[in-house]
Amino acid sequence: MGSESQRQILLFSPSGTSQALFDLLASHGWSILLADSVTQARAILRQDKPLVGIVSLELADIDPHHQSLTDLLGLESETNWILLLPERSQLSASRQAELDHIISAYCFDYHHEPIQNDLFLAVLGHAYGMAEVAKHPARISSSSYSRFGIIGKSKAMQTLFNQIDKVCKLDAPVLISGETGTGKELVANAIHYHSRRSDKQLVVINCGSLADSLVQAELFGYEKGAFTGAYKRKIGRIEASDGGTLFLDEVGDLPLSQQANLLRFLQENTIVRVGGRDEIPVDIRIIAATNIDLKQAMVKGLFREDLFYRLNVLHLEVPPLRERDEDIELLCRYFLSHDLCAASSHPKGLSAEAMHVIQQHVWKGNVRELANAIQHAQIMCEHRLIQPSDLELEKRQHPREHTTLEESRADADRNAIQGGLRQSQNNISQAAELLGISRVTLHRLINKYQLKTD
Q: Is the pLDDT of residue 202 over 90?
A: yes
pLDDT recorded at residue 343:
46
What is residue 17's three-state secondary structure? coil
Q: Do residues 287 and 191 touch, judged by C-beta distance below 8 A? A: yes
Half-sphere exposure of 221 (CA within 13 A, CB side): 22
Which of 330, 293, 352 lies closest to 125, judged by CA? 352
pLDDT recorded at residue 4:
43
pLDDT classification of 339: cutoffs 50, 70, 90 = low
CATH code: domain 322-396 is 1.10.8.60
Q: Is the pLDDT of residue 291 over 50?
A: yes
Q: Is the pLDDT of residue 413 over 80?
A: no
**Which of 229-238, 342-351, 413-422, 434-443 has the weakest average pLDDT?**
342-351
Q: Select the more confidently predicted residue: 328 or 333.
A: 328
Q: Is the pLDDT of residue 324 over 60?
A: yes
Q: What is the mean pLDDT of residues 83-111?
A: 81
How many other CB atoms sit within 10 Å of the CB of residue 143?
A: 12
pLDDT recorded at residue 342:
47
β strands within 196-334, DSSP E: 202-206, 245-249, 270-271, 280-281, 285-290, 314-317
Q: What is the mean pLDDT of residues 177-199?
A: 94
Average pLDDT of every residue of the chain: 83
* pLDDT per residue as tens digits for the range 235-290: 889 999 999 999 999 999 888 888 999 999 999 999 999 888 899 999 999 999 99
Q: What is the mean pLDDT of residues 302-306?
A: 93
CA–CA separation, 305 and 324 (whole Å): 32
CATH code: domain 155-317 is 3.40.50.300
Q: Select the more confidently predicted residue: 411 or 356.
A: 356
CA–CA separation, 342 and 266 (whole Å): 44
pLDDT classification of 170: cutoffs 50, 70, 90 = very high
Q: Is the pLDDT of residue 369 over 90?
A: yes
Q: Select the more confidently predicted residue: 90 or 262.
A: 262
Q: Select the more confidently predicted residue: 338 or 16.
A: 16
pLDDT recorded at residue 265:
93
Domain 405-448 bears CATH identifier 1.10.10: yes
Angle in degrees, CA 297, 300, 303, rounded to 5:
45
Q: Is the pLDDT of residue 439 over 80?
A: no
Directed axis angle between helix 155-167 and helix 184-193, to 10°? 40
pLDDT recorded at residue 396:
66
Alpha carbon 79 to its chain's center: 25
Q: Is the pLDDT of residue 405 over 60?
A: no
Q: What is the DSSP string of 111-137?
A: EESSP-HHHHHHHHHHHHHHHHHHH-T
Q: Select the more confidently predicted residue: 237 or 104.
A: 237
Q: What is the mean pLDDT of residues 33-40?
A: 89
% of the chain with per-residue pLDDT over 70: 88
Q: Is the pLDDT of residue 326 over 70?
A: yes
pTM here is 0.64
Measured CA distances, 88 to 62, 219, 357 (Å)? 13, 68, 25
% of the chain with per-residue pLDDT over 90: 35
Domain 2-135 bears CATH identifier 3.10.105.10: no
Q: Select the more confidently predicted residue: 64 or 108.
A: 108
Q: Is the pLDDT of residue 142 over 60?
A: no
pLDDT recorded at residue 263:
93
Q: What is the DSSP string of 174-226?
A: EEEE--TTS-HHHHHHHHHHTSTTTTS-EEEEETTSS-HHHHHHHHH-B-TTS
Q: Is the pLDDT of residue 402 over 50?
A: no
Locate CATH 1.10.8.60 in the chain: 322-396
Q: What is the Cα gyration radius of the chain?
A: 28
Q: Do residues 5 and 27 touch, judged by C-beta distance below 8 A? A: no
pLDDT recorded at residue 2:
39
CA–CA separation, 81 and 373 (whole Å): 25
Locate CATH 3.40.50.2300 in the chain: 2-135
